[in-house]
Amino acid sequence: MAEQEGATGGGTGFFAHLDELVASAELVVDRPKGSRHPRVPEAVYPVHYGYLEGTTGGDGDGADVFVGDASDAGVVGVFLTADLLKRDVEVKILLDCSPQEIEQVHHLLNDVLEIGGLLVPRR
């Protein structure tokens, strides 16, 4: 029962693990801020987008990361997405993102790419 309570207690363990992953992996930015999505040209990335080298996300590639301009903010949350076309579910890490950048990413995921985007903020 204690494990179950810890799982719903604000996600401190989850975010601590993400902090360790981010600190121990190389961040590769393959879509710089302002670049267009390769399959959806109307989708422009409002922040840098990439992945953590040596990790695995829901699609089998590296864990996805949106990187904002709020230096030293660290992991501020994640977006949970469900892509019906790719038929996958993923966690996308928000690193150094300001509240405004989080809103911009939310718009990209929900309104432009239409893959959902449930925000789980770090508390």
Task: List, for residues 24-74, the tens digit of each pLDDT value.
Answer: 999 999 999 999 999 899 999 999 999 999 999 888 889 999 999 998 999
In a domain, 45, yes or no: yes
> Cα–Cα distance between 20 and 27 in angstroms, integer?
13
pLDDT bucket at 86, cuts 50 / 70 / 90: confident
User: What's the per-residue H, E or C state across the chain?
Assistant: CHHHHHHCCCCHHHHHHHHHHHHHCCEEEEECCCCECCCCCCCECCCEEEEECCCCCCCCCCEEEEECCCCCCCEEEEEEEEECCCCEEEEEEEECCCHHHHHHHHHHHHHHCCCCCEEEECC
Domain interval for residue 64: 26-119
Is the per-residue pLDDT at 5 higher than 90?
Answer: no
Q: What CATH number corresponds to the domain at position 93?
A: 3.90.80.10
Q: Is the dihedral of CA 65, 71, 72, 76 positive or negative?
A: negative
In a domain, 40, yes or no: yes
Number of domains in the chain: 1
pTM of the complete model beyond 0.85: yes
In a domain, 21, yes or no: no
